Amino acid sequence: MTDERNEMLRERLEDARTRIREIPDEHTVPEPFRDYFVRTADFLLSVSKDADNRSLYEDILPANYAASYANPDYAAEKLGVDYGPYLSAVYAELRGLIPAVFEDDAEGQAVLLELFLTLYFEFEGGELPRAEAVRHIFAMYLRDYTPSFVRDQIGRQLLPERSFAADIIRNADFAGTDYLYAFGEYVTEDTVRTAAFINSLPEETIAAMADTFTEGYRLGFVNAGKDLSRKKTVQVVFELGFERVIAAAFRNFEKMGLLPTAVRSSVRLVTKSPNRHAGYTGAVPNEQFDYDHREDLALILDDDYVTLKKRAVREAYEELRTEAREYAGPAVMETFGNVPFVPAYSASAIRMNRKETARMVDLKTALLMIRQRYIPEDERSFTIIDFPVPQIGPDFERIFEETIRVNTLDQGLYREIQQRLIEALDHGRFVRVTGRDGNRTDLTIALQTLGDVSKQTNFENCLADVNIPVGEVFTSPRLQGTEGLLHVKRVFLEGLEFLDLRIVLKDGMVSDYGCGNFDDPEQGRRYIEENILFHHPTLTIGEFAIGTNTTAYMMGQRYGIEARMPILIAEKTGPHFALGDTCYSREEDRAVFNPDGREVTARDNEHTLIRKTDPSKAYYGCHTDITIPYSELGRISVIHGDGSETVLLDGGRFVLPGTEALNGPLDECIH
């Protein structure tokens, strides 16, 4: 950026701040809108690197949210149903000033302050603007800056020199925790406690954690036959508190020839992801706030915006096409243990209608296809690992130690046991799964037809590389003939609680669904549509797997944390079923082999084969695992062509010869 441009930005920013400082003393905007603008001006002026961290997030914390303009219901009550939701969405966007200030992003600060002033000027004088004019001003801001926001976000992902967070981590003094406040993310007592605990661990423990993480990443390339030597960057995703481990991981990646990037999970409406693990994050100030604003994009989601967004993404990748090809993929260190979130219904939150949700689905698919052209799935990889945080309860430190043990189990032992399961499964045509003790699951899963069983297999023997910890065998089922009821009494998916979740499958497609979260069944259906179907009218079953990590299950039972286990671990603690894309999405033509040398041929299903004629309709862009815990599992049996059965699990216990060792941890749960 030139000195002249820097000077212009500084002038714009100072002019905007000067004008905003005058607002609290002015009475040119009528009530109740003056209160909105004065309070918002006070917030904008309070944002600085020297501000108390809690004060930056005070008004959206649960205790204060009921009287915050960030709350669409409060905004509608105070400002009217015509104006309130729009001005609440604007306020949510203005909170992006916090990261802009901490990252010294003068342009990012200026455009937000100018948005606020443009709206303020519209309300000055005697006559109120039409609500549509308010929406139009916000919409024009979003449209005008979508290209630069997209370019900025992709650049941060691909360019190590743009990694503001990486510099903080490399220079952090782990003798204390003060560095946590340099990110501009929300820092809680739990965040500080996590960092203090991590910083107190012996160096060999930190090294073991980092080695498991980065070696899993490396093995993801090796086991898939992908060439890591062609890659130069890796995006490291984490939650504040784990910086000492992340610093060690940085050093490991650099030894592999990879420069780490660390990009903040975006707070801008046009670039943020529904998955908060799209970048690094601090603690979540208020999940209800995030939930209430998750569909604010409906304000501008028309065909013109879809065209604009696709062009912006394509041009950003084209500008960085070399860096995109050298990007190896994300390495994600997730956390678990936070108090489960059950969202409340907001009557005033902006929501997408049917046409907009269909448009959003199409846009998401189109963006994935654009990314695929510049960062092909068959050339990149990833890894994910989980660790607990103090909210898990008083046994936090013991659970942390147990998690390290779970993440480093003997892969050789699991490889042999899982091979026994696969050999039995490969001689069947169907698998039947039933529940018990109130779980009404009764599902028949159709298996793909194998040619030569001595050379081919349906199930991948999954060890600890991209998905840590070890412990599952999985397949892409045949859709035709896969049908029945999947039922779980209680499950957490992406941090959201589902009670009495019911999914009905017919020929491998979701045909009906419901849950017990709400008194009104229609609210329950919408909850599933938004958070499991992701606005698709239906999804296929993309995966059937049998989890074998009974040690992880025992950990959950021992400490009473089953409800807080992350899906990455929970999916290994019973059979699970993924709705959406298969595990081989966009890599179906790449040969995959098990340790025994047999090729895993079940990489497609009847839906994914559409990719050969119309790739835009072959993928959903989602993959949600739903696990039945051993305690709710009745039986898993292989159904042969002649109708006979081979029982793999009965009463939640492994009964197939050669797999009984997995029952040891289950016995500990009982005793």
Look at 408 and 525; give whichever has higher pLDDT: 525
Q: Give the residue among 576, 573, 560, 577 at the shortest CA–CA distance from 662.
A: 573
Listed in sequence order, the residues at least 6 apart from 621 whose beta carbon sits closer than 8 Å to its beta carbon are 361, 364, 365, 368, 534, 580, 581
Question: CB–CB of 603/585 below 8 Å?
Answer: no
Q: What is the mean pLDDT of residues 50-67?
A: 97
What band does 257 get if pLDDT is binned at 50, 70 and 90?
very high
pTM of the model: 0.89
What are the CA-CA distances from residue 285 to residues 55, 68, 191 (Å)?
11, 13, 12
Kindly write down the DSSP assignment for every residue of 433-445, as one continuous string. Answer: EEE-TT---EEEE
pLDDT at residue number 656: 96
Boundaries of every domain in the chain: 3-129, 158-385, 409-642
Instruction: Quote the longest CA-to-CA distance of the chain.
Output: 85
Q: Give the residue among 68, 67, 95, 80 at the shortest CA–CA distance from 31.
A: 80
Q: Is it the case that residue 506 has pLDDT exceeding 90?
A: yes
pLDDT at residue number 277: 66
E strands, 507-632, where?
509-514, 541-547, 575-580, 599-600, 623-627
In angstroms and rounded to an integer, the radius of gyration of the C-alpha atoms of the chain is 26
Query: What is the residue whose two structure tokens read 């260190």?
Result: 333
Q: Is it the case that residue 536 has pLDDT exceeding 80?
A: yes
CA contacts within 13 A on the Cβ side of 18 = 6
Task: Report the run of H or E that residue 30 belongs to, with start and end.
Answer: none
What band does 1 get if pLDDT is binned at 50, 70 and 90?
low
pLDDT at residue number 488: 95
Cα separation, 653 vs 636, in Å, equals 10
Q: Give the residue among 504, 528, 503, 532 at the shortest CA–CA distance from 518.
A: 528
Lowest-confidence region among 82-86, 303-307, 533-537: 533-537
Q: What is the mean pLDDT of residues 614-643?
A: 92
Q: Is it the case that residue 464 has pLDDT exceeding 80?
A: no
What phi and psi, each to the nearest 5 degrees, are found at residue 668?
Answer: -65, -35
Q: Is it the case that residue 671 has pLDDT exceeding 70?
A: no
Question: CB–CB of 166/160 below 8 Å?
Answer: yes
Q: Is it the case that residue 595 has pLDDT exceeding 80?
A: yes
Query: What is the residue whose two structure tokens read 């999916």?
Result: 571
Take residue 240 and report the two structure tokens written for it.
């504040």
Question: CB–CB of 474/545 below 8 Å?
Answer: yes
Task: Report the run of H or E that residue 227 belongs to, with start and end.
Answer: none
Q: Is it the case that residue 466 has pLDDT exceeding 80?
A: no
Cα separation, 440 vs 435, in Å, equals 5
Cα separation, 176 vs 402, in Å, equals 25
What are the CA-CA distances from residue 315 to residues 234, 371, 513, 663 (Å)?
22, 11, 40, 54
CA contacts within 13 A on the Cβ side of 547 = 28
Exposure string (b/e) for 358-385, b if CB count within 10 Å is 16 or more?
ebbbebbbbbbebbeebbebebbbbbbb
Q: What is the mean pLDDT of residues 330-340?
A: 90
Q: Is it the case that residue 462 has pLDDT exceeding 50?
A: yes
Tell me the percentage of the chain whose pLDDT exceeds 70: 99
Which is it for strands 633-639 and 623-627: parallel, antiparallel or unpaired?
Answer: unpaired
Q: Is it the case that residue 123 has pLDDT exceeding 60?
A: yes
pLDDT in tens, 351-399: 999 899 889 989 988 999 999 999 999 899 999 999 999 999 999 999 9
Question: CB–CB of 62/84 below 8 Å?
Answer: no
pLDDT at residue number 5: 79
Cα separation, 513 vs 529, in Å, equals 9
Listed in sequence order, the residues at least 6 apart from 348 whose beta carbon sits closer than 8 Å to its beta carbon are 72, 73, 75, 76, 81, 84, 85, 88
Task: Report the run of H or E that residue 307 belongs to, with start and end.
Answer: helix 303-319
What band does 468 get if pLDDT is binned at 50, 70 and 90?
confident
| Mean pLDDT over each residue of the chain, to the nearest integer | 93
Tell me the percentage of the chain whose pLDDT exceeds 90: 83
SS3 category, 145: helix
Question: CB–CB of 535/519 below 8 Å?
Answer: no
Q: Is it the case that residue 307 has pLDDT exceeding 50?
A: yes
Measured between alpha carbons, how far apart are the two ends of the chain, in Å?
66
pLDDT at residue number 565: 85
What band does 411 get if pLDDT is binned at 50, 70 and 90?
confident
